[in-house]
Amino acid sequence: MPRPIGAVLRVADALVRKIISEEYSPGLRLPSEVDLATEFGCGRSTIREALRHLAGLNLVQSRRGSGAVVLDYRREGGLELMPEWFKYGRFEHPLPVIVAEMLRMRAMLACEAARLAALYAKPEALALVRKQIEAAHALRDKPLEHSLRELDIFRGLTHASAIWPATWLANAFIGPMREVHRIVANPLAAVQDNWLEVMNELMSLVDKHDADGAVALLRRHFEGVDRQIAEGLQGIFARSHERGSP
C-alpha cells in the first residue's frame, strides 16, 4: 500500500499512534470527519484519505451511517504496523522475549531463502547476491548499516529462486524489520568476525545445490549472532536497572 504524503500522512500517523497506544481502543467509534478536521486543522478530504489509509491497514472499518470504528490491530493488523508498535504499543511480554522471537522468525526466513536458492536459483541470478555480500562486508564497521544490508542479502536469495510467493512473504517481513532495526539499532546490530567467511561458504553450498548444508550453516551462524544480541540486550537492561536504582 502506498504511503500517504503531506497532510494526509500527518493525520494518518497521528491516528495510528492513537490506535497503537490504545488511546483509541478497539470498538471505539472515531470522532466524525468534521470533528477530526477541526482537531487536526485540515479539510474533510484529508481526513477521508487518512481514514482510507487506516482501513487499508485494517486499523479501522467504516460503517455507513456510523462512521469509522477502531479494529483490534493485534488481531487484524499486519507486519507494516511493527515499527509503530515498537514505539507506541503495549507489550504483553518483556522486550527481550519479543526480540528473541523476532530473531527466530528472521532466522527461519533466512534459512528458507537459502534453501530455495540452493534448489532453484540460476548462477546469473546469484551474481547480484554476491554483490550484496560485498556491499555489506564493506560496512562491517557500521553495524546498523551492515545489518540492513544483510536483510537485503536474504531477500536477494529469495528473489534468485524465482519462487515469487516466498519473495512476497520476505518483502512483508523485511520492510518492517528494517524499521525495527533502526529503532533498536544497538541490540540488533551484531557483526561477527567470521561473517564474510560464513557468507562465502553459504554461496558455495548454494552453488552446489546443497540445500541441507546451507540451512545447517545458517542455523549455526544465527545461533552465534543471537547469543551476541542477547548479551547486548542483557547489558542494556542491566545498565537501565542500575540507573533506575535508588
Spell out the domains of the chain, with CATH numbers in brackets: 6-77 (1.10.10.10), 91-244 (1.20.120.530)
68: left (phi over 0), alpha (psi -120 to 50) or beta: beta
d(CA 89, CA 74) in angstroms, rounded, equals 10
Is the distance from CB of 226 to CB of 105 less than 8 angstroms? no
pLDDT of residue 101: 87
Q: What is the pTM of this model?
A: 0.80
Using one digit for the tens of pLDDT, what is the confidence trace for 75-126? 999 888 988 898 899 899 987 788 788 888 889 999 999 999 999 999 999 9
State pLDDT tens for residues 213-234: 999 999 999 998 888 777 766 6
CB atoms < 10 A from the CB of 71, how many? Answer: 19
- Please say whether the dihedral angle defined by the alpha carbons of residues 79, 80, 84 and 86, taken in this order, is positive or negative: positive
Q: Binning pLDDT at 50, 70 and 90, where does residue 8 land?
A: very high
Amino acid identity of residue 178, one-letter, is R
